[in-house]
Structures are given as C-alpha cells and as structure tokens.
C-alpha cells in the first residue's frame, strides 16, 4: 500500500470527504413539528453512519407515516485502493461469428436457450435486451446468433412452468431476469429456481441433463451464484455479447480450452 492508494470521497474539493446519501424513515413529516422531529431523526442516523458534520438538504413526506431524506455530510474514512478486490471474468469475449463457430464445432447442433422472468416480476426489459434480436448497448441479442435457438417465455412465469418448458425444449441453458427486488424477491426467486431444477424429475432421472442456470438483474451479487443454486449471475450493465460468450465458454468449449 502506498499513499497514492489512499483516497477519500470528493464533494467540493479533492479529499474533503463529502458524501450525499438518501434514505427513508418510518416517521411522519407533514406538520412543522413532525418535520422537525423527522429531520432530527435523520441527523441522528447520519451521525451513527459516521457523517460529521451532516445536514438535511431535502426532506419529503411519503404518505402520512414516512419521510424521504437526502443528507449531505463529511466522512473521515479512507479507501485503500490496493485492498479492493475486483472479480475477473473467467471467459473471453467472443464475436458472434466466434460464438457460432464454437457451438457448431462442439455441439454439432443449435444451442437451446429458454428465457423468462419468474414470480410476480412483470419487467421484460432485461430478458428482452439479452434475447431479442434488437439487443442492447449496440449489441444484437441471442436471437441474432445463427447457432442459438431462443425460446422467450416472457414475464411472470411460474417456476414449475419454466422447468417443464426447459425439459420439453431440451434446453442447454435457462436465462432468468429479475428486476423487482422489494423484500429481496430476486434472491427468493433465484433460490426457488435453483431448487426446482435440482429436484425436478425431468432432470433427476438422468434422461436429460440439467440446463445451465443463469440469472441476472441490477441488484444481484455476482459472487452469490453457488449460494442460490445457480451456475452464473450477471449484474447491471451486462450485454448480450457477454452472455453469449459465457454460454459458448460453458457449453461449447473449444479444443484449446
């Protein structure tokens, strides 16, 4: 560790430690008296978080019993850049042509992908960005890949229905997107997915190999895959090319791999 590795947050001037945080407290803030008490509670919390001095720069009631705050303050903490652990990608990024070639060479058939959102999640923007040919961030989705056959089941698919469809399609991989995260619904749904495929009779008897289970969403921790019973987790900012490259790496390894 060197002095250059130590940094503080920046607000007005370099290294001043100024930060801005937002949170909601279950306290009313409609009347003047309620607002004063609510802001005092917010400042108390900010102090316990290590912000000193701190000020409430925004407070807005959310209904009769909650108040949303934005607090600006100063921290004394240093960040040691030399101690930051950055997860490395375990596969190379491939072009669509390279993905197609690897699948054709290794499998001799199309790679089958079944995708959906599960539970009560009605947001298809994530799964569509990865699967649909229009893609995302300037990259074509998996439908664009000649050697990948895509089955997009859409939104709010019950996990048992996803298991049955994956078995019927003899899927090589199942992709699930989760955007709704209230009460950790994405974690619960991912864990249910892993468990369901683990005990499904369609795959337990050995007639079919369990497909690769891939989940993604903005609030997932990519390091939690094994804890949730899935094979891979993609976080925010994932592009179709990354997913396609991972599928090729995991399901159609090259002779050099």
134 a catalytic residue:
yes
Q: Over the chain, what is the mean pLDDT?
A: 91
Alpha-helical regions (H) of 49-91: none
Asked if residue 3 has pLDDT above 90, the reply is no
> pTM higher than 0.75 for the full model?
yes
pLDDT value for 128: 94
Asked if residue 179 has pLDDT above 70, the reply is yes
3-81 and 96-251 agree in CATH topology: no
Closest residue by Cα to residue 112 from 139, 147, 141 = 147
Separation CA 49–CA 72 (nearest Å):
12
96-251 has CATH 3.40.50.280 classification: yes
Mean pLDDT of 123-127: 88
Q: 197, 189 in Cβ contact below 8 A?
A: no
Mean pLDDT of 209-234: 90
Separation CA 236–CA 142 (nearest Å):
18
pLDDT value for 217: 84
Separation CA 194–CA 14 (nearest Å):
46
pLDDT value for 162: 95
Which one of 60, 134, 140, 232 is the catalytic residue? Answer: 134
CA 72 to chain centre: 28
Domain definitions of the chain by residue range: 3-81, 96-251
- State the Cα torsion 217-220-221-222 to the nearest 10°: -30
pLDDT value for 255: 53
Label the pairing between strands 111-116 and 18-25. Answer: unpaired
Report the side by side order of strands in the sheet with 18-25: 18-25, 66-74, 54-62
Closest residue by Cα to residue 120 from 165, 161, 157, 163 = 157
Q: By three-state DSSP, how is residue 111 classified? A: strand
Mean pLDDT of 179-184: 72
State the residue for tokens 């607002």: 35
Q: 235, 247 in Cβ contact below 8 A?
A: no
List pLDDT tens digits, range 83-122.
888 878 889 999 999 999 999 999 999 999 999 999 887 7
Q: By three-state DSSP, how is residue 35 classified? A: helix
Q: By three-state DSSP, how is residue 102 classified? A: helix
List pLDDT tens digits, range 128-138.
999 999 998 88
Asked if residue 80 has pLDDT above 80, the reply is yes
Asked if residue 181 has pLDDT above 80, the reply is no
Q: Which residues pair with 150 in a beta bridge?
A: 113
Give the count of beta carbons closer than 10 Å to the beta carbon of residue 149. 17
Asked if residue 72 has pLDDT above 90, the reply is yes
Closest residue by Cα to residue 115 from 71, 148, 82 = 148
- For domain 3-81, give its CATH number from 3.40.50.2000, 3.30.30.60, 3.40.50.300, 3.40.50.1100: 3.30.30.60
Asked if residue 1 has pLDDT above 70, the reply is no
Q: Which residues pair with 19 in a beta bridge?
A: 73
| Tokens representing residue 229 in the block | 């019973």
List pLDDT tens digits, range 16-49.
999 999 999 999 999 999 999 999 999 999 999 9
Residue 146 CB partners (closer than 8 Å, separation 6+): 100
pLDDT value for 206: 64
| Tokens representing residue 35 in the block | 């607002």
Separation CA 176–CA 193 (nearest Å):
9
């Amino acid at each position: 560790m060197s002095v250059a590795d130590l940094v503080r947050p920046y607000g007005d001037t370099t290294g001043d430690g100024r930060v801005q945080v937002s949170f909601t407290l279950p306290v009313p803030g409609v009347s003047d008296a309620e607002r004063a008490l609510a802001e005092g509670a917010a400042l108390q919390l900010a102090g316990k978080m290590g912000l000193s001095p701190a000020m409430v720069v925004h407070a807005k009631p959310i209904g009769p019993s909650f108040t949303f705050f934005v607090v600006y303050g100063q921290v004394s903490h240093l960040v040691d850049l030399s101690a930051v652990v950055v997860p490395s990608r375990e596969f190379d990024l491939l072009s669509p042509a390279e993905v197609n070639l690897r699948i054709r060479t290794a499998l001799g058939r199309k790679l089958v992908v079944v995708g959906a959102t599960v539970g009560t999640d009605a947001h298809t923007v994530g799964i569509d960005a990865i699967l649909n040919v229009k893609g995302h961030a300037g990259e074509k989705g998996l439908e664009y890949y000649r050697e990948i056959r895509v089955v997009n089941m859409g939104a709010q698919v019950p996990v048992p229905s996803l298991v049955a469809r994956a078995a019927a399609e003899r899927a090589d991989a199942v992709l699930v997107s989760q955007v709704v995260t209230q009460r950790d619904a994405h974690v619960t749904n991912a864990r249910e997915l892993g468990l369901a495929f683990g005990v499904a009779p369609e795959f337990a008897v050995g007639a079919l190999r369990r497909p690769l289970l891939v989940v993604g969403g903005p609030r997932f921790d990519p390091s939690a895959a094994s804890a949730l019973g899935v094979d891979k987790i993609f976080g925010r900012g994932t592009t179709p090319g990354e997913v396609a490259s991972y599928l090729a790496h995991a399901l159609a390894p090259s002779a050099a791999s």
